[in-house]
Amino acid sequence: MAWSTAEVERMAAAHFGGRTPRCPVCGAPVDVNEYATIGSKTVPLDLHCPRCGEDAGFSEPHLEELDLAWSQKQMRAIVNAYWRDGFALLRSLSDSLQGRERAWLVLSRERVS
């Protein structure tokens, strides 16, 4: 049984939220590989369940077209949260999408190192 789009989006949200995504079919932890090209604004994912063999890709190409730049004030707040808490949840991305979608990006020291 193939994963639905909603299931793939939930697993991607779990991954970007710093949690281990679980397979909606069998409940096993899902392996996630991030890949990106130079200049890309998004991070596509390959998702694979080692137990049941399901797999899917996740990407948000529509985000590439948007102007997702943050102001100097927002960048300072992001950096301060990153060093204070070890991660920064970047909520302003959903503001850039004008409420059409909920998009989250997590910057984590564990992922950087």
Same domain, 3 and 44: yes
68: nearest Cα among 90, 38, 100, 44: 90
Report yes or no: 26 and 52 within 8 Å, Cβ to Cβ. Answer: yes
* Higher per-residue pLDDT: 13 or 101: 13
Task: Print the domain residue range for 76.
Answer: 66-113
46: nearest Cα among 34, 62, 37: 34
Same domain, 55 and 3: yes
What six digits make up the tokens of 108?
């984590």
Same domain, 58 and 72: no
pLDDT for res 89: 64
The answer, yes or no, to whether residue 104 has pLDDT greater than 60, is: no
* Higher per-residue pLDDT: 103 or 89: 89
What would you report as the CA-atom Rg of the chain, rounded to the nearest whole angstrom?
A: 15
The answer, yes or no, to whether residue 49 has pLDDT greater than 90, is: yes
The answer, yes or no, to whether residue 98 has pLDDT greater than 60, is: no
Same domain, 8 and 57: yes
Secondary structure (DSSP) of 6-22: HHHHHHHHHHHTTS--B
Strand ranges, E, within 1-113: 31-34, 45-48, 55-58, 87-89, 106-108
| Spatial separation of the C-alpha atoms in residues 41 and 19, rounded to whole Å | 22
pLDDT for res 105: 52
Same domain, 74 and 21: no
* Higher per-residue pLDDT: 89 or 99: 89
